[in-house]
Amino acid sequence: MSKYEEPAPWDDGEYGTGRTRPPKSHSGVIAILLIAVIFLTGTITLLGFMNIKMFQQLHQKEQEPALSICINSEPEELSNGANSGGLVQIDANQAVAATVPAVQFPPLATETGGLTLQEIYVKCIPSVVSITSEYRNGKSTGTGVILTGDGYIVTNDHVIENGERITVQLTDDRICAARLVGTDKASDLAVLQISAEGLTSAELGDSDALRVGDSVVAIGDPLGVEYRGTMTDGIVSAINRNVNVNGRSMNLIQTNAALNSGNSGGPLINSCGQVIGINTMKIGAFTNSAGVEGLGFAIPSTMVKDIVEQIITQGYVSGRPWLGITGESISLFYQRYYRLPSGMYIADVAANSNAAKAGLQVGDILISVDGTKVYSQTDLDTLLYHYSAGDTVTIIIYRGGYTMQTDIVLEEAGTAQS
């Protein structure tokens, strides 16, 4: 019997001959990587084009004088001279026309017998006009109502807001240039005047005599002048309805007569063909997932008559507060490029106003009023609705690297501007 050696403990008696499968192919991984590279390259290229386009747009805006910002390379020490007014430097962390003759409208008419819808339209359509307001970046359209034979027209302030050129189209297709007589943002009313012959003035009815369920019609330009002269009918759905509009509460007439964009500034008319309201807003059809219809609102004629008379005779509405400055919002680009805080860029400070006496200057950035942040003129106007002329407010501004605050007494709009 031959001897043999015991196998080593690690020897299991099985011997491999190497890999019998061919090496795995990596073509799938390579393809995925190539697709990823192509996608990333395309994304980077697209972002580059978008960045160039945005820069060009911002560069064009930079040429506009309305937002000419002067930035000093080094902050200047505050002067104690006359220009500083009442401004006090604080820690940045604390920052949060020509004389017009008096116009007296006749008393509001009372209802005397109803008219058919056709008769109402024939009576009222000559007094309804189409309004186009052109501004820097486009235009807006709305409706207006002729109030007097010498060309005074009432519409909504938001129809002509920021308008640089306003035109009025009459029902006989004449187009007239309009002069802005005055506005009242608190009531969303504005008064224009045109020079034209043969104008038909509307008859103002008494909105205080309205009852829920009274028949009414609206005439205007829904969706623009393409559909001008459209009449819709409905009823008075509610009276003395308090509605929040841009931060202020307005007492309005509610109606289910169809109103759409373009009807703003047009008349709401009773069954006698008398204007008992100026249409101002609606709650849209896409307010919620269910949709909302038939919720339109008009400014009562009693309020319209009072405010329009004040605007025509004195150029303003008594008791409205005014800070003495106007401005515009600062884009995020300007904030980052010039390292500016968010706020409202002050584009104009009225001479001899309390703001000017307090030392405010064009180029300052208004940060807050009584601790409430302000980003635009709309924010400022909305905030002032809660104050009265004579109230004192604490404002915080930014100038040349410093944050400052001062107290300013609000003036009565119109008297301070005259």
Provide the 3-class DSSP secondary structure of residue 355. Answer: helix
Residue 72: per-residue pLDDT: 39
Tell me whether residue 182 is in a domain: yes
Cβ proximity of 53 and 60 under 8 Å:
no
Residue 405 φ then ψ, to 5°: -140, 155
- 272 and 368 share a domain? no
Residue 415: per-residue pLDDT: 65
Tell me whether residue 394 is in a domain: yes
Residue 46: per-residue pLDDT: 64
For 355-414, the pLDDT digits (tens) are: 999 999 999 999 999 999 999 988 998 899 889 999 999 999 999 999 999 999 999 987
Domain residue limits at 172: 117-314
Provide, rounded to the nearest whole percent, the portion of the chain with pLDDT above 70.
Answer: 75
Give buried/exposed letters for 184-207 (b at 16+ CB in 10 A, else e).
bbbbbbbbbbbeeeebebbbbbbb
Cβ proximity of 221 and 227 under 8 Å:
yes
Residue 70: per-residue pLDDT: 42
Residue 332: per-residue pLDDT: 93
- 308 and 322 share a domain? no
For 3-30, the pLDDT digits (tens) are: 555 665 655 555 444 444 555 566 777 7
- 193 and 328 share a domain? no
- Which comes out higher in pLDDT, residue 247 or 184? 184
Tell me whether residue 417 is in a domain: no
Tell me whether residue 164 is in a domain: yes
With bands split at pLDDT 50, 70 and 90, how would you rate the model's confidence at 92?
low
- 341 and 275 share a domain? no
Provide the 3-class DSSP secondary structure of residue 315. Answer: coil
**Nearby residues of 280 by Cβ (< 8 Å), 6 or more positions away:** 156, 188, 245, 250, 252, 264, 265, 297, 298, 299
- 286 and 144 share a domain? yes
Give the integer Cα–Cα distance in Å for 417 and 316.
10
With bands split at pLDDT 50, 70 and 90, how would you rate the model's confidence at 114?
confident
Tell me whether residue 44 is in a domain: no
Give the integer Cα–Cα distance in Å for 357 and 1.
126
Cβ proximity of 266 and 145 under 8 Å:
yes
**Nearby residues of 211 by Cβ (< 8 Å), 6 or more positions away:** 236, 239
For 264-290, the pLDDT digits (tens) are: 999 999 999 999 999 999 886 444 545
- 282 and 259 share a domain? yes
* CATH classification at residue 159: 2.40.10.120
Provide the 3-class DSSP secondary structure of residue 318. Answer: coil
Give the integer Cα–Cα distance in Å for 214 and 270.
8
Cβ proximity of 290 and 300 under 8 Å:
no
Task: Say how many residues make up the chain.
Answer: 418
- 346 and 395 share a domain? yes
For 50-73, the pLDDT digits (tens) are: 554 544 443 444 444 444 444 333
Provide the 3-class DSSP secondary structure of residue 285. Answer: coil
* CATH classification at residue 380: 2.30.42.10
- 174 and 295 share a domain? yes
Tell me whether residue 36 is in a domain: no
Maximum CA pair distance of the chain?
Answer: 143
Q: Which of 314, 337, 362 is the last residue of a domain?
A: 314
With bands split at pLDDT 50, 70 and 90, how would you rate the model's confidence at 32?
confident
Q: Which of 314, 336, 368 is the last residue of a domain?
A: 314
In 136-229, beta strands by DSSP E: 138-146, 152-156, 165-169, 175-177, 179-184, 189-193, 215-220
Task: Enter the DSSP assignment of 380.
Answer: H
- 280 and 139 share a domain? yes
Tell me whether residue 234 is in a domain: yes
Cβ proximity of 225 and 345 under 8 Å:
no
- 270 and 182 share a domain? yes
Tell me whether residue 404 is in a domain: yes
Number of domains in the chain: 2
Active-site amino acid positions = 158, 188, 264
With bands split at pLDDT 50, 70 and 90, how would you rate the model's confidence at 88?
confident
Q: How far is residue 83 from each of residues 87, 315, 355, 360, 400, measured CA to CA in Å? A: 9, 30, 11, 8, 14
- 140 and 213 share a domain? yes
pLDDT exceeds cutoff 70 at 326: yes
Q: Which of 294, 314, 334 is the last residue of a domain?
A: 314
Starting from the edge strand earliest in sequence, which strands make up the sheet with 175-177, in order?
Answer: 175-177, 165-169, 128-135, 138-146, 152-156, 189-193, 179-184
Mean pLDDT is lowest, of 59-68, 97-106, 236-245, 373-382, for: 59-68
What DSSP string runs through 66-103? GG-----SSPPPPP-SGGGTT-EEE-GGG---------
Cβ proximity of 409 and 398 under 8 Å:
no
- 160 and 295 share a domain? yes
For 185-231, the pLDDT digits (tens) are: 899 999 999 999 999 999 999 999 999 999 999 999 999 999 999 99
Instruction: Indicate whether this model's pTM tops 0.85.
Output: no
Residue 10: per-residue pLDDT: 53
Beta bridge partners of 396: 368, 405
